[in-house]
């Protein structure tokens, strides 16, 4: 699901930004009943909402990973502190063994890891591609004005 949401947000945002660039270059002031500025604001809000979903999900996963690491560290501390207690020792060893055997960070179809780096990587990639679209638009505008 996170892979779909990420790809959906990425590609649709690029398409919408390109549509807005095209509408501005064609000097269209209204689309139906709406002024182009209203459509631009709504598009930016839609993009921010979807990026916020990805950020919230990735930060929630990162909080979960930190909690698991904290539980792991607590077990190590308990093992050092209560070496003579059999029940605590057995519980902590079972938790540590289970963590080593089964815990892996969540991935989206093994393409990328879902953690705090996802939000940063996604937004930086999104901004880079939007800047490329804007550079093409300004280059085309400069070419059209020059001829």
pLDDT for 133 equals 93
pLDDT tens for 95-112 read 889 888 888 888 888 888
pLDDT for 147 equals 65
pLDDT for 143 equals 79
H helix and E strand count, the chain: 4, 4
Q: From 97, 92, 55, select the one nearest 75 (Cα to Cα).
A: 92
Per the DSSP assignment, residues forming a β-bridge with 34 are: 31
Determine the straight-line distance between the first and last CA of the chain, rounded to whole angstroms: 48
Distance (Å, rounded) from C-alpha 118 to C-alpha 112? 8
Residues of the chain predicted below pLDDT 70: 147
pLDDT for 70 equals 93
> Would you state the structure tokens that stand for residue 120, as one six-digit string?
């940063």
pLDDT for 126 equals 92
């Amino acid at each position: 699901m996170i892979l779909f949401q990420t790809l959906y947000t990425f590609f649709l945002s690029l398409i919408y930004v390109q549509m807005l660039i095209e509408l501005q270059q064609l000097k269209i002031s209204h689309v139906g009943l709406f002024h182009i500025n209203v459509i631009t604001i709504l598009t930016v809000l839609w993009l921010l909402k979807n990026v916020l979903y990805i950020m919230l999900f990735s930060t929630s996963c990162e909080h979960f990973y930190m909690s698991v690491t904290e539980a792991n560290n607590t077990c190590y501390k308990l093992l050092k502190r209560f070496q003579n207690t059999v029940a605590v020792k057995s519980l902590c060893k079972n938790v540590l063994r289970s963590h080593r055997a089964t815990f892996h960070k969540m991935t989206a179809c093994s393409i990328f890891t879902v953690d705090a780096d996802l939000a940063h990587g996604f937004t930086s990639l999104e901004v880079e591609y939007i800047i490329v679209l804007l550079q093409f638009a300004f280059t085309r505008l400069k070419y059209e004005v020059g001829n």
